Structures are given as C-alpha cells and as structure tokens.
C-alpha cells in the first residue's frame, strides 16, 4: 500500500494557515469531508477522540492524525503543509508543519496500520520532508508524496 492508493490530487492543502492544533484538525476535517462525502464534524470528532489517547505528532515537525469511521468506504488521506509550524504537543516537543491525516473504515484492521506505517516511513525521510517544506505547489506536493520510494531520492 502506497500513498498513491490513499491520496488524491484534490486532498492537498499546500499552504495552510492555522494557529493551533485544533484549528489544523478542523481544516483537515473540512478538506477530508470534501474528498470523502463524510461529515466534517464526524471526522473532526474521530480525530479529537484519537488525540485524547496521545498526540499523533510523531516528531521532526510531522503529525499523522488518524481515525476510523463506519461511513468510510476506504482508507484515504489528506496532506497539509502549514505556512508556519504550530504547537502540536508532539512526542519530541517540536512544532509541526507537515500533517498527513488518515481516515479508515472501522473494519480496516491491519490495512489501517499498514497505511500508518507507510505514511510514517515516507515522512521520516529527511530528503522528502525537506522537499515538501520547500514548495507551496499542490501538484508538486502530490507528486512527491505519491512517487515510488526508489525514485524519491532521484532529481
């Protein structure tokens, strides 16, 4: 499973302006609602419920908020590059500026974990994250996130 299976070109927020974690999750929920047809409030509530278990800020300026919803027909993602970093209560205490939201069907099980692992693997690569931070172009961000891992270090 790659991000190509989860992310669509219209699910990219290339220069999101937010001032807080809650505001970021709200904006991501709104975008997720647009691409999925699921209610933004339902998505937002699922994300907040997950955040109560512990921050999805995984470190190095990256967060991977996620949740499961009965109405989700498949696993999907929304990616945001923030205009400026925000406090996200991340595990390393660093502010976050790259967020990849994942929503999965309630019955997704192992596929949900695979999607999380794949997303984390891509966003752990310092070359990839440097490139993501260096552009505000949605099409370029989409290409960087969805190209095959072997080609991520090319160019």
The CA distance from 70 to 91, in Å, is: 29
Calpha distance 56→64 (Å, rounded): 5
Positions marked catalytic: 66
For 99, residues 6+ apart whose C-beta sits below 8 A from its C-beta are 24, 28, 62, 63, 64, 65, 79, 80, 82
Other Cβ atoms less than 10 A from the Cβ of 114: the count is 13
């Amino acid at each position: 499973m790659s991000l190509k299976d989860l992310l669509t070109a219209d699910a990219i927020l290339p220069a999101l302006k937010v001032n807080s974690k809650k505001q970021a999750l709200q904006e991501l929920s709104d975008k997720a609602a647009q691409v999925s047809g699921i209610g933004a409030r339902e998505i937002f509530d699922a994300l907040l419920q997950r955040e109560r278990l512990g921050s999805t800020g995984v470190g190095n300026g990256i967060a991977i908020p996620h949740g499961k919803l009965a109405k989700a027909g498949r696993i999907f993602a929304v990616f945001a590059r923030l205009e400026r970093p925000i406090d996200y209560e991340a595990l390393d205490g660093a502010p976050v500026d790259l967020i990849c939201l994942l929503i999965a069907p309630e019955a997704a099980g192992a596929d949900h974990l695979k999607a999380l692992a794949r997303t984390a693997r891509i966003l752990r690569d310092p070359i990839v994250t440097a490139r993501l931070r260096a552009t505000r172009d949605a099409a370029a961000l989409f290409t960087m996130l969805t190209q095959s891992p072997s080609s991520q270090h090319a160019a």
